[in-house]
Structure 1
Amino acid sequence: MPDPGDVLDGYRLNAVIGRGGMGTVYRATDQALEKTVALKVIAPHLADDPTFVRRFREEAKALARLDADGIVDVYTLRETEEALFFVMEHIEGPSLQTVLRRRGRLEPPQALSLLRQVLTAVGHAHASGVLHRDLKPSNILIDADGQAVITDFGLAKILASDADLTATHDQLGTVAYMSPEQVKGLRNVDTASDLFAVGLIAYEVLTGQLPFDRSGTDFVVQRAIVDASFPPPSTYAPEVPPAVEQVVLDLLSKDPAARPPDAQAARTRLPIPQTADEEPLLTPDTPPAPDVGFTAWQWAGLAAGTLLMLMGTYAGVRGTLGLPILSTAGPAPSETTRTAATPAGPSSAEQKSTPEANDTGLSSRTGQDPSTETSSSVNPSSSDEAPSDESDPSAAAPSEDSTPPGASTDNTSGATSAPDDEPSPPPEPATGAITVRSSPDGATVRLNEQTIGRTPLTIDDLAPGTYRLLLDRNDHRAQETTVPVAGNDTTVVSPTLPPRPAVVRLGARPDGTVRIDGTPQAPTADGLVVDSLSPGPHQITITSTLGRWAMEVTLDPGETYERTIDFTERVESAVTARATGGPPLPNATVTVNGDTVGYTPQRLRLRVGERTIRVMKDGYIPAEQTVRVEPGMETPLVFELAPEPE
C-alpha cells in the first residue's frame, strides 16, 4: 500500500483520510493541476482477486454516473503497475458521524435540512439506477458550505446491469444500518433498503441514538432490526415535529412495501422549510481561537502579583536598613483576602487551592513558599516605628475570623523572610493506559494508524484524550473503535472478532442452477454465482440439463472456494462385480440411470455429475450406488452381490 509522500501516477499522496474493506482513501494533490483531490486505492491483498477488482471498478462507474449535488464526484479511474485507483472530489469537512459525536444530536431544523438533502441525493442515485447499500453517518460528509455529500459507494449495485457482486471479505454493509431484508441476504435488497438506512440516520440525528442498543453482538443488533419495535423519536426528543416523526417511522417499516415508494415521495411529505432556500445543514465546527495574549482575568492576576512583589521588596529593603515599614490603616488582610485580590476566572478553584499558580504561569505571590512567608510581607505593621526584636503581637496578628487554618502568623523578624526555594514546577500531567484483549487472541493492534503489537497487550503512558483503535486478524473481521483515555486510569477493550466470511464462486457448463443450502442463487453477467458465506459446512447443489452435482463443503474463515462443474466432460471408468466375499462375477448387467450399458467387467465413459449405477445377475440380489463422476475418481467401481436366499 502506498504511503503518504509517495507519488502515484502524477498524484502526490498527502495523508490517509479513510480506510475500508476494499482500500484506502488518501488526500492527494494533482501535480499537473495543483488541485487537491481524493484517491481511493484498492487494497494490495485484493488487487489480484478478479471479483474485488471488478467490484472496485463498479464503485467507480457507479459514482461516475451520479453527477449531482450531494454525491461526491469521480474524475477518473487509473490502473498502473503500482496500484489500481480512482480519483474523486475531495470534500473538506467532517463526516456526519464526527458531527454527531461532538454534538450528540442536531436541532430539529438542522435534522430536517439533513434529511431533505440526503433524500434528494439518494433519489438521484436511484433514478440513475444505482443503489448505495451502505448508507451511514460515516459515509455522509459535511462540506465547507454546510451541505451533506454522500460518498463511499463500495457496495453499490447498478440496477441496469447484472453486475451484482455480493462477495467481500468484510461485512456486507454495516450491521447497525442494515435493513431487515439486507440482514436476511444482500441479494434481496432494492431501493427500499436504502430508504430504511436513511430512516435510521434520521432517527439518530434527531435523538442522538439509534432505536435499538447497538452495543450488543452483531446477532443481537440484527435480531432487533428484524423483530424489535422501534420507539418513536419523540420518546427521546419531545421537540421532534410530528410530521417529521411520522416520515421517519414510515421509512423504518419492517415491510419494504410499507415504506414510501421512493425517496422523492418521502421528501415531499416532509415540512417545507420556513425560508425560501434550504438552510445549510451545519456550519463547520470552528476550532478555538489561538491564545494570542492574556485574558482580562490573567492581566488582573499579573497586576496583583506584581503589586505584591513590589510591596514585599519594599518591606524587605526597609527592614534590612532598620527603617520603619510604612503601614496602612485598618486590620491586616487575611490569607483569603489576598487570594481573592486576584479575580478568579474559570479556574478560581485551582487558584484558591494552589495560590502559587495561575493561568499566566506566574506566581501571584512573588514565588514565595507559603509555609515560610511572614505576614509583614503583605501586611505591614500599623506603627511607623522601627520594629524591635519582640514586636507587638497585637500589631502582627492577623484577624481571627479571616486567617485560614495553617496560615503563618510568625513576625519575629519584622521583615520579609527570603524565599527558601524556587517556585515548584507544575506537576507532570497524569497519563492513562489501554488494555486490549480480543477473542480470539493474536489480533494485530493499531493505535491511530500505528501498529503496536498483538493482543493481549497494555499500552501505557497515553496522554488523556480519544484514540482510534483497530484490531485485525487474517481470519476474522477487523474491528475499529474510538477509546477515551483519562489520566490515572486504564481503559479495557475486549471485543469478540467475528469470523471473516468465506467467498464462493460457483458455476455450471452448460448454464444451470446453483443452490446454496437449498436456496437458488442468481448468477452474475459471466454466469457465475458469487457470494459470501459464514464459515462452516454448506450444502451446494449444481444442476444442468446434462446432470446434477451435490456436495457438502466446509469453509474456513476468509477462504475463497471456486468450482465450476463441466457437465460436458466425460470420465473414463470401469465397473466390476463379485460375490460377497467371493470370486468375480462376470456377465452381470450394468445400467446407468436406468439405461443398460453393458456387462461386467464393463469399461464406461461417463459424463461428469451424479450417476446411479445398478448391477444385476440372476441368483443374486442387485446392488446399486449413486456415484459422483468427476476427474480423478477411483476406478474400477466394485459391486458386491449377495446370493438370493434359497
Structure 2
Amino acid sequence: MPDIGDVLDGYRLDAVIGRGGMGTVYRATDVALEKTVALKVIAPHLAGDDTFVRRFREEAKALARLDADGIVDVYALRETKGALFFVMEHVEGPSLQTVLQRRGPLEPAQALSLLRQVLAAVGHAHTSGVLHRDLKPSNILVNADGQAVITDFGLAKILASDADLTATHDQLGTVAYMSPEQVKGLENVNEASDLFAMGLVAYEAFTGQLPFDRSESDFVIQRAITEASFPPPSAYAPAIPPGVEQVVLSLLSKDPADRPPDARMALHRLPDPETDKAVPIVEPGSPASDALLSVSQWIGLAATFAIILGGTYAGVRATLGLPIFSVSPPAPSDTARETVAAGPAPQQDAASQSSERADTDTARGQEPDTAPIEGDSKDNQQPTSEASETTPIDSTSTDPDPRDSQPTARVTEQPTAEPTSSDDKPTESQPPAQGMLFVRSDPEGASVRVRGAQVGSTPVTLDDLEPGSYELALRLQNYRPIETTITVQERDTTVVTRDLSSRPAVVQLRVVPSGKIRIDGTLRPADSDEPLVDSLSPGAHRIEVSSALGRWETQLQVEAGERYEQTVDFTQRVEVAVTARTSAGPPLPNATVQVDSETVGYTPQRITRRVGQHTIRVEKEGHAPVERTVQFEPGMETPLVFELSPRSE
C-alpha cells in the first residue's frame, strides 16, 4: 500500500482516515486544484484479481451516478501502475459510531433526524439500482450541522449487473449488522437487507446499544439475528416516540416480507418532523459542546468550584487562627440527583451578598462574620460562597434556620462529635483520603476505561482516586471484552488482574449435495438446506465433509476472531494434468495412470473428476509404482507430478 506523502496520479496522501478488508481510505489533496478529497485505495490482493476489478469498475460507475445529499460523492476512478483507487468527497465530521461511543445514545430528535436522512439516502440508492449491503454506524458520517452522509459502498451490489460480477472475496457485511437472510446465504440479499441494517442502526442511535450482546461470538450474534426476539427500543429509551418505535421494529422483522416494502415507505411511516432541518449532533470536545453541558456536568463543575472556594476559605481562617470547617465533596451521582431534584436554590443571592460582605471585612482587616463561630447568632451563620448548597451545616447550632422552609437543595450534613461544654469546638472534618488503582491483564496492552473514560493500556496505575465504586472495562482486539465494577478504598491500592479470553473463530460450511460434517472428529448437526455455522477456539482443527458423491477434508488453522467460509460442492468437476518423471528429474512418458482403481491413460494425462478425494496410481515397467490420495478442488495446483524410482535389479 502507498505511504503518507506519496502522490498518486496528482493526489497527495495526507493521512489515513480508515482501513478495511477491501482497502484503505486516505485524506488527500488534489495538487492541481488544492482541494481536499478522500481516496479509497483498493487492497493489492484484490486489485490483482481481474473478476474483482471488473466488478469494482461497474460499481464505481453506478455510485458516481448517485446524486443525493446523504451519499458521499464519487468524483473519479483511477488506475495507476501501483494502485487502483477512486476519488471521493471528503466529509468533515466523525462517524456515527464515534459519536455513540463518546456520548452514548442520541436525543430522540437527533436520532429521528438521522433516521429520516439515512432512509432518504438509502431510498435514492435503491431506486438507482444500488444496494449498500454494509450499513452500520462506522459508515455514516455526521458533520457539525447534523447532516448524515453514507459512505463506503465497497460491498455494494449493482442490481442489474451480471451475475459473474457479484462474487465477493470477503465476508459480505459486518456480522453485527447483517440481516437474517445475509446470515443464511448471499443469494437472498436485496433491498430489504439494507432496511434491516438500517433498523439496527436506528435502534443503536436511540438506545446506545444493539438489541443483543455484541461482545459474544459471531455464531451467537448470528443466532440472535435469525432467532431471538428483540426487546423494543423503549425498554432502554422510554422517550422514543411510539410511532417511531413501530417503524424501527418493522425494519427489524425477521421475515423480509414483514418489513416496509422500500425505504421511501418506511420514511413515509415516520411521524412528520417539526422541522426539515437536520438536528446538530455536537461532538464532546468540540467548541460548541461547552454550551451544551448536561445538568450533571454543570453540577460536577459547580462541586469542583465549591472545593476550590472551600480550600481558599479554610486557608484564610487558618491564617486568622479561627476554626476550620472543611468541605467534603459528595459522591457525584448522589449530588447530581439531589441537586436536580431540588431545583434552583433561592438563597443563592443571599449567599453571594454574604460572600461579598466577607470579602469586604477581610479587606478591612476584620474577621469575616459569615462562618459559624461559637456564640454567633443564627442570622450570621450563612454560607461563605456560591457553593453553599454543598457546604456542611454547623451541627452545633440548635436553633431552626428560617431558610429551611424554602425550597433548597438538600445539604449533606457532616457528622461531628457532640460538644460536652461551651468551651468545646466543632470537630474538624477531613476530606476522604485518596486511593490507588492498579490494572493489569494477560496478555498486556488492553485498553482500560474507567467510568467510560479511556485512561491507558495495561498495565496502568491510577492514583488520587476518590474512594467509591468504579465501572472498569478492558478491551483488546481479538479478545473478549471484560466489564466489571471495582471498589477503591481510601489509603489503599486496589489491584485488578484479569486473564483475557480469545474471541472464537467462526466457521461456515456448506455441503452440496447435503452431507455430514465433522470437526475434530465430532459430527456436527446441520440442516440439509442451510450452511453449518459454528464457533471454534483459535488453533488447528480437522474438518471432514462427506456425502454420497465423495469425501473432502482439510487441516484448518484459525486465528482469534477470524471467519472461515467454505462451500464443498461435490457436483463440481475439476480438471488436472498428471505427469511422471524419474528420480533424477527427466520426464517419464507413457506411465500408466489409474484413478480410483480405473486405468484412464498414460502420462502426460489430463483428468477430470468431481470435487473430493481421489486415489491416483502411476506405474511404469522397471520403476516402483507411486500411489497417493489427492483432493480435487477448484484452484488446485496442476500438473500433479509423480516421481518414480527405478527398481533395483
Q: TM-score range by the shorter chain?
A: 0.5 to 0.7
Name the residue aligned to 1:153. Answer: 153
Secondary structure of 2:248 counterpart: helix
Name the residue aligned to 1:15. Answer: 15
Q: What CA deviation, in whole Å up to 9, does each residue of 1:435-462 have, x standing for no partner?
A: 244xxxxxx96869xxxxxxxx953357
Contact 2:440 2:496 in 1 (8 A): yes
Q: Give the aligned residue type for 2:271.
A: P
Distance in structure 2 (CA, Å) of the matches to 1:493 and 1:61: 49
Distance in structure 1 (CA, Å) of the matches to 2:369 and 2:3: 73
Q: How does 1:94-133 map to 2 (within 5 A)?
A: 94-133=94-133
Name the residue aligned to 2:385. Answer: 343
Contact 2:578 2:604 in 1 (8 A): yes
Q: CA deviation at 1:265?
A: 1.6
Q: What CA deviation, in whole Å up to 9, does each residue of 1:492-544 have, x standing for no partner?
A: 472423448799xxxxxxxxxxx954379xxxxxxxxxx99998647599xxx
Q: How many correspondences in the alignment?
A: 478
Name the residue aligned to 1:608. Answer: 607
Structure 2: which 5+ runs fail to align? 292-301, 322-364, 395-420, 449-456, 466-470, 489-493, 516-530, 535-540, 559-563, 580-588, 616-628, 633-637, 645-649
Name the residue aligned to 1:233. Answer: 233
Q: 1:402 to 1:281 in 2, by over 3 A?
A: same
Contact 1:333 1:399 in 2 (8 A): no
Contact 2:371 2:381 in 1 (8 A): no
Q: CA deviation at 1:183?
A: 0.9
Name the residue aligned to 1:190. Answer: 190
Name the residue aligned to 2:426. Answer: 403
1:496 alignment partner, one of 494, 502, 526 = 502
Q: 1:18 to 1:345 in 2, by over 3 A?
A: farther
Name the residue aligned to 1:209. Answer: 209
Secondary structure of 1:556 counterpart: strand
Q: What CA deviation, in whole Å up to 9, does each residue of 1:301-329 have, x standing for no partner?
A: 798589669868xxxxxxxxxxxx99899
Q: What CA deviation, in whole Å up to 9, does each residue of 1:590-629 have, x standing for no partner?
A: 998xxxx9xxxx869976224999xxxxxxxxxxxx9999
Name the residue aligned to 1:453. Answer: none
Distance in structure 2 (CA, Å) of the matches to 1:329 and 1:249: 64
Name the residue aligned to 1:266. Answer: 266
Secondary structure of 1:106 counterpart: coil
Q: CA deviation at 1:89?
A: 1.7
1:167 alignment partner, one of 169, 175, 194 = 169
Name the residue aligned to 1:251. Answer: 251
Contact 1:4 1:15 in 2 (8 A): yes
Name the residue aligned to 2:332. Answer: none
Q: CA deviation at 1:71?
A: 1.0
Contact 2:578 2:640 in 1 (8 A): no
Distance in structure 2 (CA, Å) of the matches to 1:429 and 1:8: 54
Q: What CA deviation, in whole Å up to 9, does each residue of 1:256-313 have, x standing for no partner?
A: 12222211121122222133x24436345544559xxx9987996798589669868x
Contact 1:536 1:556 in 2 (8 A): yes
Secondary structure of 1:29 counterpart: strand
Q: 1:406 to 1:280 in 2, by over 3 A?
A: closer
Q: CA deviation at 1:235?
A: 3.2
Q: Give the aligned residue type for 1:167.
A: H
Q: What CA deviation, in whole Å up to 9, does each residue of 1:566-602 have, x standing for no partner?
A: 659798877699xxxxxxxxxxxx998xxxx9xxxx8
Identity of aligned residues (%): 53
Name the residue aligned to 2:452. Answer: none
Q: How does 1:285-324 map to 2 (within 5 A)?
A: 285=284, 286-287=286-287, 289=290
Q: How does 1:22-171 map to 2 (within 5 A)?
A: 22-43=22-43, 48=48, 60-61=60-61, 63-80=63-80, 83-161=83-161, 162=163, 163-168=165-170, 171=171
Name the residue aligned to 1:321. Answer: none
Q: CA deviation at 1:146?
A: 0.5
Q: Tell me, yes or no, if structure 1 residue 518 matches structure 2 residue 513.
A: yes
Q: TM-score, normalised by structure 2?
A: 0.57
Q: Give the aligned residue type for 1:241.
A: P
Distance in structure 1 (CA, Å) of the matches to 2:371 and 2:205: 61
Q: Give the aligned residue type for 1:191.
A: E
Distance in structure 1 (CA, Å) of the matches to 2:146 and 2:56: 29
Q: 1:436 to 1:93 in 2, by over 3 A?
A: farther
Q: Give the aligned residue type for 2:513.
A: G
Q: Give the aligned residue type for 1:117.
A: Q
Contact 1:574 1:635 in 2 (8 A): no
Name the residue aligned to 1:282. Answer: 281
Name the residue aligned to 2:356. Answer: none
Secondary structure of 1:38 counterpart: strand
Q: What CA deviation, in whole Å up to 9, does each residue of 1:470-505 have, x standing for no partner?
A: 53xxxxxx57979999996647472423448799xx
Q: CA deviation at 1:122?
A: 0.9
Q: CA deviation at 1:44?
A: 5.4
Name the residue aligned to 2:584. Answer: none
Q: Give the aligned residue type for 1:282.
A: I
Q: What CA deviation, in whole Å up to 9, does each residue of 1:310-350 have, x standing for no partner?
A: 868xxxxxxxxxxxx9989999947x999997536499689
Distance in structure 2 (CA, Å) of the matches to 1:202 and 1:175: 17
Superposed CA RMSD = 5.6
Contact 1:62 1:153 in 2 (8 A): no
Distance in structure 2 (CA, Å) of the matches to 1:202 and 1:174: 16
Q: 1:489 to 1:14 in 2, by over 3 A?
A: farther
Contact 1:58 1:156 in 2 (8 A): no
Q: CA deviation at 1:156?
A: 1.5
Contact 2:134 2:173 in 1 (8 A): yes
Q: CA deviation at 1:142?
A: 0.9
Q: 1:268 to 1:16 in 2, by over 3 A?
A: same
Q: TM-score, normalised by structure 1?
A: 0.58
Q: What CA deviation, in whole Å up to 9, does each residue of 1:75-108 have, x standing for no partner?
A: 2233445544333222222222222234432333
Q: 1:107 to 1:297 in 2, by over 3 A?
A: closer
Q: CA deviation at 1:174?
A: 1.7
Moved more, 46-55 or 237-246: 46-55
Distance in structure 2 (CA, Å) of the matches to 1:540 and 1:330: 90
Q: 1:538 to 1:517 in 2, by over 3 A?
A: farther
Q: Give the aligned residue type for 1:217.
A: S
Q: CA deviation at 1:117?
A: 1.2
Q: Give the aligned residue type for 2:206.
A: L
Name the residue aligned to 1:580. Answer: none
Q: How does 1:323-338 map to 2 (within 5 A)?
A: 333=373
Higher helix share: 2
Secondary structure of 2:160 counterpart: coil
Name the residue aligned to 1:642. Answer: none
Contact 1:573 1:635 in 2 (8 A): no
Q: CA deviation at 1:180?
A: 0.7
Q: How does 1:354-373 map to 2 (within 5 A)?
A: none
Q: What CA deviation, in whole Å up to 9, does each residue of 1:375-407 have, x standing for no partner?
A: xxxxxxxxxxxxxxxxxxxxxxx9745432599
Q: What CA deviation, in whole Å up to 9, does each residue of 1:164-213 have, x standing for no partner?
A: 13222xx4322221111111123431111111111112222233332223
Moved more, 113-122 or 560-569: 560-569
Bigger radius of gyration: 1
